Amino acid sequence: MQNFLNNSSLMQRTVSTQTFQSQTISAIILFNIGMLFSAASSADETMDTKQVSQNRVDLGGAVRMRLDYDPDRDIRKLSFDTAIMNLDFYYDQLSGHIEHRVLGGAYPYDYTDHIGDVNFTKKAYLEYAVNPQQSIQVGLNQVPIGFQPYYTSTVIESMAYIAGIEDLYRLGAKYNYKKDNYEIYAAYYAENPWKGKGTSQGAYYSNQLIPADENLENGTHYKEQDAVALQYNYTQNNDSWSANYGISAYYAQLKSKLKEDKEGHRGVYALHYGLNKDRLGLKFISIFNQIDTPYDQTTFGSYDGTFNVANKGMLYSLDLNYKIPEFNVKDINDFNVYLHYSRYDKTKKVFLDSEQLVLGSAFTYKKNVYIAAEWLFGKNNPYIGGSSYGQSLAAGGSNQWENQVNVNIGYYF
For the segment 32-52, what is each residue's pLDDT rounded down to a tens digit? 333 333 333 343 443 344 455
Task: Give the chain's largest Cα–Cα span.
Answer: 71
pLDDT at 59: 97
pLDDT at 386: 77
CATH number assigned to the domain covering 8-412: 2.40.160.10
Are the beta carbons of 309 and 222 closer than 8 angstroms? no
What ranges do the domains of the chain cover? 8-412
pLDDT at 54: 76
Q: What is the DSSP letter of 114?
A: S
Among 359, 379, 367, CA closest to 410: 367
pLDDT at 82: 98
Segment (H or E) for 346: strand 332-346
Sign of CA dihedral 323, 59, 177, 315: negative
pLDDT at 14: 33
CA distances (Å), 98 to each of 117, 126, 195, 381, in order?
Answer: 20, 9, 15, 31
pLDDT at 153: 97
Are the beta carbons of 261 and 221 closer than 8 angstroms? yes
Q: How many angstroms separate the CA atoms of 338 and 116, rounded?
A: 32
pLDDT at 11: 35
pLDDT at 8: 38
Residue 1 C-alpha from the chain's centroid: 7
Q: What is the DSSP letter of 9?
A: G
Q: Which residues of the chain have pLDDT under 70?
A: 1-53
Q: How many angstroms separate the CA atoms of 139 and 147, rounded?
A: 20
Q: How many CA atoms lie within 13 A of 194 on its CB side?
A: 19
Q: Exposed, middle or buried: residue 78 (CB in 10 Å: 0-12, 13-18, 19+)?
A: middle
